[in-house]
Each structure stands twice: as C-alpha cells, then as structure tokens.
A and B are shown apart, each in its own frame.
Chain A
Amino acid sequence: MKQIKVGLGTCGISAGGKIVYKELLNEIKNNKLNIKLKETGCMGMCYNEVLVEVVDGNKKYLYVDVTADKAKEIIKQHIIENKPINEWIIKSDDITEKDNFFDKQKRIVLRNCGLIDPTSIEEYIEQKGYKAIQKSLKEYSQKEVIDIITKSGLRGRGGGGFPTGLKWKFAHDAKSEKKYIICNADEGDPGAFMDRSVLEGDPHSVLEGMMIAAYAIGADEAYIYVRAEYPLAIKRLKNAIKQCEEKNYLGCNCFGSEFNFEIKIKEGAGAFVCGEETALIASIEGKRGVPRIRPPFPAHKGLWGKPTNINNVETLANVPWIINNGDKAYAKYGTEKSKGTKVFALAGKIAKSGLAEVPMGMTINEIVFEIGGGIKNGREFKAVQMGGPSGGCIPASMGDLKIDYDEITKTGAIMGSGGLIVLDDTTCMVDLAKFFLNFTQNESCGKCTFCRIGTKRMLEILERITIGEGKEGDIELLEDLAVKIKNNSLCGLGQTAPNPVLTTIKYFRSEYEAHIKDKKCPAHSCTSLLTYTIIAENCKGCTLCAKKCPANAIIGKAKEVHIIDQELCIKCGQCFDVCKLEAIEKF
C-alpha cells in the first residue's frame, strides 16, 4: 500500500501544511483510494516547505514546495496514473538527487524526525524505540549506564557543554530517597528551533532518554519544562506520555521491572533566564525565575531541595541511540574533545534555512556553503552568529574553523544551543550587537546590579552610536563595562550578555569606528546615518517616489529629474524600495 507523509512541524504548518493535508485527504476520499495519509515532523528542509513524501513499497519520492493545487496533481498523476511528477521531486531513488542538503549530514538526534508519525508510539517502537531503556534495565547496572554515557563523550547540548556522564554521576552519588530529572525544553534563544523540532517530530526519543537518565541516577519523578510558546510540542508530548502510561512504560514497575517513573509537563511562562538551571527550578516551584548562587549544585540540592539532574532536549534525544549502538559508535564522530553530532538551526541570509545535523568538527564554510547552499541573493558572506544572545559573531575570514565546543569558545563566541545565523554584507554589526543586548537587557532578572544596570548602560551607548551620536572613547567604555558585567554576574545570562558586543568589537572594530568618527554605517543599515539621493541619469521622472514619500520630501515634475529635500527626508527608504529604475542611491 502506498503511503503519503506530510511534514507538519510548526514551520510546515506555517507554510500551509494543513491546507495541503486537507486537500490530500479530500482527494483520497473522493477517489476512494486505498492510501495511508500520515503526518510527520520536521524533515529539516524548512526552505522547501511544504514537504510531501510518497512512499511506494521501497521507493520514496520527496515533493517540495507543495500547494493545494499541486497536491491535487500529485494524487492524480502519481497515485492514480502512477506517473511521478519528476519536476517537483527533489529526492527519489529514480532520479539523481537534485539537492545535496542531506549529503554531509549524520542524523542521530533527528534520526526519526520526518520519518515517523510523532503521534504514534508503534512507529517509534518499530524504529528500535524503547529498546535502549529495556536493555539498560535488564543488562546494565546504574553505574554501567553512566559509564557508557561518559565514554561516549556526550556533552550538554543546551550550551554549556558540560560532560553528561559526569553530571549523571554527581546526581547518582548524591544520597537521597527522592531524586528528580528535569528536561530543559525552554528554548528561549531567538533563532534556535532544534529542540522544538525534536519535541514535535520525535517526542518519544526524549521520553526514553529521560527514562534512562532516571534509571541511572535513581530518580522516580521528572518534569519537562517547556515553553508555552510551543503549543504543538506540548500537545505531542502530552500524547506521548499518555501512550507510555497505557503501555506501562511509565508508572509503577515499568517494563515489568522494579523501576518506577512518572513524567509531568510544566509550561514555562516566558522568561529567557529560566533556561538557567537554578532559575528553572525556582520557576517549577512556582516562584519568580531568579537564579541563586551555586554551590550547592542541583545535583545535590535541586528541585524542592532534592538532588536533581537537568538535561537539555537534544542531549536526552542522543541517549537512546548511544545505549543501542554503543559508546564507540558515537565517539567515532566528532573531534577529540567534542564527540558525536550537533544539530544546527540555519537561518538568516542563507539560501537554504533549516535544520542540519552534522558531525562535530565540520567547518563553518562546509555548513554554510555545502549544506546551506551559500548566501541568499548571491550576496557576500560576512559572518556567522553562534550561540544567540550569549554568543558572538565569527567573521567569514575564519570560515575554515572546525566547529567544536573548545574551538568556538576560543573565538569569543559559544556553541550555545545551536542557532547559526548567517549574515551578509547588508547586516550592520553594531546594530546586531544592539539587538542582542536589547534582548538580554530585557530578560535580565534584575538580581545582579551589573547585569541589571550595566547592560542598560551598554545599550544606551550602542543606541547613541547607531544614531550618529557616538563619542571618542565609547568603544573603550563598552569594553570596560563588558568585563565588569562578565565578572560580577551570578548566572550565565549576565556572564555572557556582553559577548555579542565584545566579538563584534574584536572582529569588526572598523565598523564601530565608522559609526563614531565618520557618522556612517558601512552596511547601509542604520537609518539615521543614511543619505538618500536621486541619480539624475537614471531618473525618468515617473513620480512614483514622490507619490510614495510620506514626508513630501521629493520634489519634481512628471518626466523631469526629481530631487530629495534632505531637510525634510525622514530616511524611511520607501522611495528606494519603490523605484524600479535603480535611480535612488543610499550611502
């Protein structure tokens, strides 16, 4: 029997996936076809949404950019007449691949995403699902499980990169009747969506990872702290937990063993700082999400004062694979100190934005050009931003840098959760630094003075620079404040908040200087520093710009060259956008 799968992650749905799904369903009904229609998670090719895969026995055909009309044709030509529509197919066994997006990837975390129906536990079980927990319960002692994870070299994928095995050992060694597991699914970093995709596309892998962690440290209760902004992820997690309870994979004497375990969901209420372990714990306890001094670490004193182990979604999704395939199979990938794979969310000025999972140690250029297809609209590659508001910008000149935890940290950025924003020559680095600082300044919980007030002062300086009121000495003042904020903040948010500013000063100092000294923005991005003029040779006097100008700053009669009155111009750029003759110049 033929199967049709539709990618219905958040990105698929926003691109119109539900409309396509409905159309397919209608067509199948109307033609009384014996076809199984399924929804699946994100396949990673966000740039080609909506994705529809037709599975015919062993053959698979991946259709891209599907609309309702195309869906109708697929049913008619491919399903009924048995003629696949090759021009819409990007990947199949019959035609050589037109897209090399998947060539260099190694999918461990995303092994089931886009492949299985995330709402079906049976499909997860078919893919060796829940084998790893049963193997752990039967064949391994707690110490042996911790040993396997330690040897695999798995490090925390939430950003910090702390060795997972060691974290589990601390929680295991803590003496207490009651212990907790927390899955940190508070993916607050703007521009990162890998955890969301895993939760939406393969929720059972995260639950299984939590079970194994719970067995290893001796916990019997767990919380998943997930953003309320991810309603689909929450829905699929709830469904997955219910299915596990029905099968007795969760509850008392799970899998017929002596292992008892329950998982609850806590919806985060929107605070970036709650990604920090102690703030997250405070939030689950129903308080304001304010971090506290460590030690004591959560492994000794965590939720409700009991030993608690906190892991990120991606970390946990790796765990079942490692138990099933062995630590050596995992450690085969990656570099000396960073093993395995990492999922990156490619976005920004990149041709193919989406999710890519690659072995650690791949270079920035390989990811941007060979997987991501280079820069959008053929522009110039300027930098990548890694690690979100806690990270920094790495310039294109360092494109051969191998991506692993330690190499990235050396540049002043951090690996972070895996957001990889590609920037081109139209991105102003001062403006970008301001953007991130505005974010951290808003999200600072206010406990530490330097983080609360220092970031505000830095933001004010950056704002001044971008409107052309920068002063000599501003760069040095920013650097001075940055060091003080880093040294005097309790948690990761404050300690890393100045990173975007520091790395942009380090690699793009001349841009700061151009803003301050010449009052110019080299990327033509900061509006206050722009001048719009009309190129007389190109202007045919079509009056389009004059009609559009909201400030009536463009003067000129029809069929005569127009002029912009600089006194009146508010630099909104509408004339630039509307001109079809490239007669308006900004500099």
Chain B
Amino acid sequence: MIIAKQIDSNNKIKNFKKDLIFKKNQTGSLIPLLQSAQDSYGYIPEKTIHYISEIVNIPAAEIYGVITFYSQFRLKPLGKNVIRICEGTACHVNGAKNILNALKDELRIDVDETSDDGLFTLQSVACLGCCSLAPVIMINDETHGNLTTDSLRKIIKKYINSEKQLGD
C-alpha cells in the first residue's frame, strides 16, 4: 500500500516535469503548470516556483502574485485528512456556523490550519454545490450532510479512532 502510494506520487512528479517541458512555449500556461505542480506535490514548494520561473520566463515574484491571488493554491502541505466545511448561503442559514465552531472545538485548530499531528487540515469553501444536504462538510472525498453538532462530533471521533488504530 505504502509502496503503491510512493509510485503514484513519483509518477505524478514525472507528469509535472513533462508538463513543464510540454507547456514551455504555450501562452497562458502558468496557471495549468501551477495546478500540475500542486497535483504532484500536494502544495507548491518554493523550489518549483523557481523551476517554473526559469522555464516560462516569468519572474518568481509575479508567479507568487498569481499563487496568492487564487484560493486554490497552497504554499504549505496539507494534513492527512482534509476537512472542507461549506460556507455557502444555504449552509449558512441552516447553521453552518455552529458546525464550524464544533469542528474547531473538536480538532483544536482554526480554518486553514493543520493539526500538530498532521492528521487534519480544516478548510472553508464557498459552496460545495449540494445545497439540499445543508449543512454539509466534506472529509477527503466523502460528503456528510444534514449535520447537527452531535452527528458531526460522532463523525470526527470515528476518524480520530480509525487513525489511532492505524497508529497502533
């Protein structure tokens, strides 16, 4: 399992390097390259900014400006489990704020932070697009809807327990 993951990430890094060469002369390729870098490394490491800068001939400062403009890009690695809380209008009027407070309380981190053990990162998103299930959170690729603070705490405990078991 661990080996398979390693190969997968090596392949992704290869893909990024291919993209670098392939997209070199294409106009407007900066954002796709950054997306490819993030897809490979999980975030955008500083050294990749310099790689890209040399290849597409755009100053690193300008690339940094583009990275920080768009909410998709991260300059720090993510935790093992990414929890995204929907802050769309439907979720807001259905009590997303209470859910967020319970999440912060349960994980002891704020939005855009990663827990000290590296297990959880908490992010907020503008809308996950499944408004009929409001309030909603997504943990990795799984959606949990119609939440109450109680059901949320149970879900989080389940994740923490399964991580503990893995650790043992």
Contact = CB atoms under 8 A, between A and B. Distances in A.
A271 interface: yes
A190 B126 contact: yes
B71 A421 contact: no
Interface stretch (B6-14, B29-37, B158-166): B29-37
B55 interface: no
B28 A345 contact: no
A269 B27 contact: no
Nearest to A288: B69
B130 A11 contact: yes
A193 B129 contact: yes
Interface residues of B, number: 40
Contact of B89 (A269, A419, A574): A419
A347 interface: yes
A345 B131 contact: yes
A14 interface: yes
B83 to A, nearest CB: 15
Interface in B85-131: 87-90, 92-94, 98, 101, 125-131
Interface in A3-57: 10-11, 13-15, 46-47, 49
A512 interface: no
B60 interface: no
Q: Considering residues B27, B126, B128, B133, which has the most beta carbons from chain A within 10 angstroms of its beta carbon?
A: B126
A285 B90 contact: no
Interface of A: 10-11, 13-15, 46-47, 49, 188-193, 196, 228-230, 266-267, 269-272, 283-289, 304, 345, 347-349, 353-354, 385, 388, 419, 421, 423, 427, 432, 435-436, 439, 445, 572-574, 577
B72 interface: yes
A434 to B, nearest CB: 10
Contacts of B66: 286-288
Nearest to B138: A14
B89 A348 contact: yes
A353 B90 contact: yes
B65 interface: yes
A244 to B, nearest CB: 22
7 contacts: A11-B129, A191-B88, A269-B31, A284-B28, A288-B69, A289-B69, A353-B132
Contact of B73 (A14, A191, A269): A269
Interface of B: 27-32, 34-35, 65-66, 69-73, 87-90, 92-94, 98, 101, 125-134, 136, 143, 145, 148-150
Contacts of B28: 284-286
Nearest to A349: B93
Contacts of A190: 87-90, 126-127
Contact of B132 (A46, A230, A349): A46
A49 B129 CA distance: 14
B145 A421 contact: no
A196 B90 contact: no
Q: Considering residues A287, A432, A439, which has the most beta carbons from chain B within 10 angstroms of its beta carbon?
A: A287
Contacts of B69: 271, 288-289, 445
Contacts of A11: 129-130, 132-133
Contacts of A288: 65-66, 69
A288 B131 CA distance: 30
B65 to A, nearest CB: 6
B14 to A, nearest CB: 21
A49 B30 CA distance: 40
A3 B72 CA distance: 40
B70 A47 contact: no
A421 B98 contact: no
B130 A421 contact: no
Given A13-B143, A193-B131, A269-B34, 9 more contacts: A14-B133, A191-B131, A228-B72, A230-B129, A269-B31, A348-B90, A388-B89, A419-B89, A439-B126
B35 A228 contact: yes
B71 A191 contact: no
Q: Which 4 residue pairs are nearest across A and B when measured between Cβ atoms?
A: A46-B132, A269-B70, A14-B143, A347-B131
A13 B144 CA distance: 11
A49 B132 contact: yes
A348 B72 CA distance: 26
Contacts of A289: 69-70
A332 B134 CA distance: 36
A269 B132 contact: no
A147 B70 CA distance: 39
Contacts of A266: 31-32
A304 B89 contact: no
A14 B130 contact: yes
